[in-house]
Amino acid sequence: MPNGFRPALLLAAAVALPCAADPAPPSHPDDLAALRSQGPAGLRTLLKQYDATPPGPGRDALALDVDKVAGQRYATVSRLYWYTELAPAVAEAQREHRPILELRMLGRLDEDLSCANSRLFRATLYANAEVSTLLRNDFVLLWTTERPVPKVTIDFGDGRKIVRTTTGNSAHYILDENGAVLDVLPGLYAPSAFRTELQSSLAFAHSVRGKTGDALAQAITAYHTQLAARTQKQFSTIANAPYIAATHHLSTAAELEDAIARAQRATMSKAMIEVRDLKHIGLYPGALPDDAPYWAAVGQRLYNIGDVAAFHESATPRQAARQAATKASAPPTVLDARSRALIAQLHDEVPAELVATPEQLADVIARLEQHLVADSALDQLQLRPQISQFIASHHGRIDFETLNSWVYATVFNTPASDPWLGLMPRTDFSGLPGDGIESF
């Protein structure tokens, strides 16, 4: 975990996370429906009331109302308004002359048990101050459901239960103000990476505003042809990014230089032959090039996260030690204070004996940050080019339903034709009647 993480940061971000069983009575449904029908303006009205309410049961109940009006769980943090149907989103986009950002997901964004990606979106992207400002100011937001999210209940037989979700992925589609698909960001990105890619999509949306028919199709084809070529070139230049296997946090130049210096000292007699290869297959034996440390290293270089760009691969042991002494030792920070506060509170809504220590929480966040950056690299360099090539192959003329069906079937490997989402392969005997299926 970054040494710079301080639990005191949690005090800087006041986050209200009301329990779904809060005893305070909610507002009348008709009142909430009226506010929701006003769109973002209705949410601003309720947030103003929420901000003026002192902490306590009344404020907690009001936070639940905010979620209902916003169409998103934990909207007191994100302060984002989400449409749930395309037609009103298009109408708003045309009024505001903004593109639409459509989140396609399993489950619902206004429920805790939505798919894992959407839960992480709420905590790491929509809660992020800079991301939420970009979304609020430049897009009309819409979420739609691909299908219900599968839920798993683990019953310990003594009254204790764990309920979680399994399977599923999400994508952000960028649509023009008429609802035509312009771009897609598949899966989970780190906040800075998400902003970078979304701003690029936004610039493209502005460049084609007002275009229709052949002109729009040609622009979309050119954009995705160039995007696929650019990401292929980016990957070719950073695919051999040095990394330290079996780590659970993001790397620093100091760590890499110290590790390579130790590796060189340990194998000095054959350093000239093997060290160059050693650096690029993982600094410790047994590393696989498809694990989180590797993809996190690629993501750090792709999005310039931390100081790894300053790592000198040709350094001698003495030079590496000297360089390491002058560089930051703490891994880079990926999540801002608002996201960390929300993550901390969600993580510790548990019995007292399971509440994390500051050190344990720091480790949880470190692992999450590493996986966010790793996912960013995988999504950007492997999944997104597939989508761009598919769009370009259709000459920029592809409707949302066709593209989305292909994305879920081919890119996410969860086709609509499989109602069991791969969870019922019927290839191995389970010993249970009907493999445990209770209803169908």
Q: Mean pLDDT, 10 residues at a time, over the chain (440 residues)?
A: 32 43 56 95 96 94 96 98 98 98 97 93 98 98 95 90 87 97 97 98 97 97 98 90 77 69 49 40 40 89 86 54 60 95 94 93 94 94 96 96 96 89 81 82
Q: Angle, to 10 degrees, between the axis of helix 40-51 and the axis of helix 29-37?
A: 130
Residues 289 and 243: their CA atoms lie apart, in Å, by 9
Q: What is the pTM of this model?
A: 0.85
Residues 337 and 333: their CA atoms lie apart, in Å, by 10
Residues 368 and 125: their CA atoms lie apart, in Å, by 13
Residues 262 and 255: their CA atoms lie apart, in Å, by 11
Closest CA to 198 of 84, 83, 338, 102: 102
Count how many Cα atoms sit within 13 Å of the Cα of residue 283 in the half-sphere of its side chain.
23
Residues 437 and 424: their CA atoms lie apart, in Å, by 9
Residues 165 and 151: their CA atoms lie apart, in Å, by 4
Residues 240 and 279: their CA atoms lie apart, in Å, by 9
- Beta-bridge partners for 104: 144, 171
* pLDDT, tens digit, 9 for 90 and up, residues 115-172: 999 999 999 999 999 999 999 999 999 999 999 998 888 889 999 998 888 877 999 9
Residues 98 and 246: their CA atoms lie apart, in Å, by 44
Which backbone phi and psi does 103 adopt, to 5 degrees? Answer: -90, 120
Contact predicate 305/334, CB 8 Å: yes
Pairing of strands 100-106, 151-155: unpaired
* pLDDT, tens digit, 9 for 90 and up, residues 267-283: 444 444 444 443 443 43
Contact predicate 258/313, CB 8 Å: no
Give buried/exposed letters for 272-287 (b at 16+ CB in 10 A, else e): eeebeebbbbbbbeeb
Pairing of strands 171-175, 140-147: unpaired
Q: Is 310 exposed, middle or buried (0-12, 13-18, 19+ CB in 10 A)?
A: middle
Pairing of strands 140-147, 100-106: parallel
Count how many Cα atoms sit within 13 Å of the Cα of residue 406 in the half-sphere of its side chain.
17
Q: Angle, to 10 degrees, between the axis of helix 292-302 and the axis of helix 358-378?
A: 70
CA distances from 54 to 8, 15, 59, 61, 164 (A): 22, 13, 7, 12, 33
